[in-house]
Chain A
Amino acid sequence: MKLKRFLLRYYPPGIILEYEQGGTVKTKSIDLLDLKPETDVDSVVDEITRKEPLITTSKTDQVRKLIVRLQEKLCHVEDRYFYLFKVLRAHILPLTNVAFNKSGSSFITGSYDRTCKVWDTASGEELHTLEGHRNVVYAIAFNNPFGDKIATGSFDKTCKLWSAETGKCYHTYRGHTAEIVCLSFNPQSTVIATGSMDTTAKLWDVQTGTELNSLSGHSAEIISLSFNSTGALLITGSFDHTVAVWDTRSGQKVHTLIGHKAEISSAQFNWDCSLIATGSMDKTCKIWDTDSGRCIGTLRGHEDEVLDVAFDYTGQHLLTASADGTARCYNSVTHNIISKFVGHEGEISKICFNPQGTKVLTASSDKTARIWDPETGECKQVFEGHSDEIFSCTFNYEGNTIITGSKDNTCRIWR
């Protein structure tokens, strides 16, 4: 094993080691999820040197510099106010979802008008229109961190793979017998998983365009799915009230997470994938242990359905958004509530952290999106202007640009 170079990852803080083993280049990451600006650098360096054989004494100086860089980045918390940068009359029918590429240089929008559009973030120019689906384009994704491909899932029951650079369609994946409503690339960008109203999830080969596996076992629609960070596991959330954990290689079900008393709305891994959070129409959020499949906590308090859940990048905080018009932030280890976000005048359908974990973004049927302080619950900003409900919202990786997508057929860039 020979260390070739270091790569720095800001959010969540970490150092990626690129090394050579048996002639092939591999990477592994040292996660520093607990790193704070005030953390003692020497003790971190000592610990890494002790645990990581690739880090020899000659490398410790370099590691120390990298950690200081990460700390500097953590110190640099800007309390920025976002201004409306552009209104894009993006589509002739309502938008569904929006997504950024890793660098944030471009983003994509899906729509009821059967297209997905690729946009340049800096100028607001349309780069490509991905045409070919015969019904609503509902689920969309970049193959981050690479960002050279886009996958679209449609109510026409197919999934398509496109070049993000040219807009050319590489493959059309056929096999689902009902609407595709969720999808994701695996972290290596070699596999696409799609979840469908036909109750199955399918795995598709990015390179060859063929079906690799069909994951059947749910008794109702699959509406949420997510890979773990190695791509070995996939979780699927279903209207059958359960979440399934699948081995992506064998296609076998590893666990069924049983406990919710109504439909699942969202299922997410935390960063190290040790925990799974699930939101449900039963008004609760549950936290599960990935290895054992056991429920280790139930977060109650919402007065109506939980519509979305989200971890921060370090996995220490967990957000819930509800049809009762409020959202909450919990400590994902102690399960104690940290703050409540009260102010929206309609249900909150989407919630997320900025990559730094210092801001919470919510989208609501009251036609506004809002930013909140996760520690105090204070509303920092209200984004007004959409003339109909907001279906989707997201931060870019730097955390300095926000996209909102609305039923009013437009999307807005805020920065």
Chain B
Amino acid sequence: MGLLSLLRRIRGTQAKELRILLLGLDNAGKTTLLKSLASEDISHITPTQGFNIKTVQSAGFHLNVWDIGGQRKIRPYWKNYFENTDILIYVIDSADRKRLEETGEELTELLEEEKLSGVPVMVFANKQDLVTAAPACDIAEGLNLHQIRDREWHIQACSAQTGEGVKHGIDWLIKACSKKK
């Protein structure tokens, strides 16, 4: 990809190109989701130290998806990537009930960011293939998603591992963007 293509991606001037920011705690499954979107092999995925970017084509749109590492020490740098974001995808490990509060706090902070104001948010309740996973409605409740008034939002149960639910989520976000643009 190289530094030059990074610059071409931050431009985002092409008409039907969407810049999508993929955030969430470490081990939420962001990179797996990204790779499954791009139909790539998901068997060897390691914690993301920086970021990954992929362009995925869907319904005539070029989705420029930025997957940013979620470890605590690099979360302060999420800000680097806010500019010109069309959609925020927030990924949650539905089986990690211990950190539901932590992930909720991070999401609340994101929704308060000025550069992300009005940006539609799509929450993926990931890892639904695990038996211990909380259902999407419980997570929506836990995160107080119903109180979001300043933007469109949606929660989608999914498994990045099996691919289930991912397509539905993408359909929603393309619809949300078509309305906006």
Residues of A that sit less than 8 Å from B by CB:
92-94, 96-97, 112-114, 134-136, 138, 155, 179, 181, 197, 221, 223, 239, 263, 265, 307, 347, 349-350, 365, 388-389, 391-392, 407-409
CB of B15 within 8 Å of the partner chain: no
Closest to A224 in B: B4
CB of B7 within 8 Å of the partner chain: yes
Partner of B73, one of A92, A94, A263, A365: A92
Residues A391 and B77 in contact, CB atoms below 8 Å apart:
no
In the assembled complex, the Cα of A96 lies from the Cα of B80 at a distance in Å of 14
Residues B80 and A307 in contact, CB atoms below 8 Å apart:
no
State whether A197 and B2 are in contact (beta carbons under 8 Å apart), knowing that A94-B50, A135-B79 are contacts in the complex. Answer: no
Q: Which of B50, B69, B73 has the most CB of A within 10 A?
A: B50
Partner of A112, one of B8, B11, B77, B83: B77
Residues A181 and B7 in contact, CB atoms below 8 Å apart:
yes
In the assembled complex, the Cα of A382 lies from the Cα of B49 at a distance in Å of 25
Residues A349 and B4 in contact, CB atoms below 8 Å apart:
yes
In the assembled complex, the Cα of A155 lies from the Cα of B8 at a distance in Å of 14
Please indicate the chain B residues that have their CB under 8 angstroms from the CB of A112 in the complex: 50-51, 77, 80
CB distance from A139 to the nearest CB of B (A): 10
Residues B1 and A365 in contact, CB atoms below 8 Å apart:
yes
Closest to A91 in B: B50
CB of B3 within 8 Å of the partner chain: yes
Closest to A221 in B: B11
Residues A391 and B50 in contact, CB atoms below 8 Å apart:
no
State whether A114 and B11 are in contact (beta carbons under 8 Å apart), knowing that A265-B4, A392-B3 are contacts in the complex. Answer: no
Partner of A197, one of B7, B69, B73, B80: B7
Not counting A93-B69, A155-B10, a sample of 9 additional A-B residue pairs whose C-beta atoms are within 8 angstroms of each other reads: A93-B51, A93-B77, A96-B3, A113-B77, A155-B83, A179-B7, A239-B8, A239-B11, A408-B50
Please indicate the chain A residues that have their CB under 8 angstroms from the CB of B2 in the complex: 307, 347, 349-350, 365, 389, 391
Please indicate the chain A residues that have their CB under 8 angstroms from the CB of B50 in the complex: 93-94, 112, 388, 407-409
Residues B7 and A221 in contact, CB atoms below 8 Å apart:
yes
In the assembled complex, the Cα of A265 lies from the Cα of B6 at a distance in Å of 12
Residues B3 and A263 in contact, CB atoms below 8 Å apart:
no
CB distance from A341 to the nearest CB of B (A): 16
9 residue pairs, one from A and one from B, having the closest CB atoms: A349-B2, A94-B50, A93-B50, A391-B3, A409-B49, A135-B80, A136-B80, A265-B4, A307-B4
CB of B42 within 8 Å of the partner chain: no
Residues B1 and A389 in contact, CB atoms below 8 Å apart:
yes
Partner of A114, one of B3, B51, B77: B77
Please indicate the chain B residues that have their CB under 8 angstroms from the CB of A347 in the complex: 1-2
List 25 contacting pairs A-B, 8 Å CB cutoff, sorted by A. Answer: A92-B74, A92-B77, A93-B49, A93-B69, A93-B74, A94-B49, A94-B50, A94-B51, A112-B50, A114-B80, A135-B79, A179-B10, A181-B7, A197-B10, A197-B11, A223-B4, A223-B7, A307-B4, A347-B1, A347-B2, A349-B1, A388-B49, A388-B50, A389-B1, A409-B50
Residues of B that sit less than 8 Å from A by CB:
1-4, 7-8, 10-11, 49-51, 69, 73-74, 77, 79-80, 83
In the assembled complex, the Cα of A8 lies from the Cα of B10 at a distance in Å of 45
Q: Which of B7, B8, B51 has the most CB of A within 10 A?
A: B7
Please indicate the chain A residues that have their CB under 8 angstroms from the CB of B74 in the complex: 92-93
In the assembled complex, the Cα of A409 lies from the Cα of B51 at a distance in Å of 11
In the assembled complex, the Cα of A197 lies from the Cα of B10 at a distance in Å of 9
Please indicate the chain A residues that have their CB under 8 angstroms from the CB of B10 in the complex: 155, 179, 197
Please indicate the chain A residues that have their CB under 8 angstroms from the CB of B49 in the complex: 92-94, 388, 408-409
In the assembled complex, the Cα of A18 lies from the Cα of B49 at a distance in Å of 51
In the assembled complex, the Cα of A365 lies from the Cα of B6 at a distance in Å of 13
CB distance from B74 to the nearest CB of A (A): 6
Please indicate the chain B residues that have their CB under 8 angstroms from the CB of A365 in the complex: 1-2
CB distance from B143 to the nearest CB of A (A): 27
Residues A155 and B4 in contact, CB atoms below 8 Å apart:
no
Please indicate the chain B residues that have their CB under 8 angstroms from the CB of A263 in the complex: 8
In the assembled complex, the Cα of A409 lies from the Cα of B48 at a distance in Å of 11
Please indicate the chain B residues that have their CB under 8 angstroms from the CB of A388 in the complex: 49-50
Please indicate the chain A residues that have their CB under 8 angstroms from the CB of B3 in the complex: 96-97, 138, 349, 391-392
Residues A155 and B80 in contact, CB atoms below 8 Å apart:
yes
Please indicate the chain B residues that have their CB under 8 angstroms from the CB of A349 in the complex: 1-4
In the assembled complex, the Cα of A239 lies from the Cα of B7 at a distance in Å of 10
Closest to B3 in A: A391
